[in-house]
Amino acid sequence: MKPQQTITSLPVSPDDDRHRRMVQYSVAMGIRLLCVVACFLVHGWWLVIPALGAIFLPSVAVLLANNVGATRATRAEAPPSRVIVVSEPIIVRDPRENQS
């Protein structure tokens, strides 16, 4: 029998996960596009920075996009049990004692 799942232990829905990965990939490709444009505008040793970004960002973007279900993978912890503090001790008597 499968253990019952609670709402806090359910994984992210596939649609939400796919949307998150598409947004991450699109942002990384937008930054890469800016790096490619900067390669034409920057001269000298500064050209190395946007060139490295344009070269390595696609592989980083693919790695991030293929990271399926990585967010909220941890289970929620149950709150600690309540502790009741009693100022006087509770005495439980056997009801049969009073019958004599």
Q: In the chain, what are the domain boundaries?
A: 13-72
Task: Say if residue 20 is exposed, middle or buried (CB neighbours under 10 Å; 0-12, 13-18, 19+).
Answer: middle
* pTM for the model: 0.57
- pLDDT higher than 70, residue 5: no
Q: Cα–Cα–Cα angle for 27, 30, 31, nearest 5°?
A: 90
Mark residue 69 as left, alpha or beta (left: phi above 0; alpha: psi -120 to 50; beta: remaining): left
Q: What is the pLDDT of residues 32-89, one digit of tens each?
A: 999 999 999 999 999 999 999 999 999 988 888 887 665 554 555 666 666 666 677 6
Nearest to 11 by CA among 72, 68, 77: 72
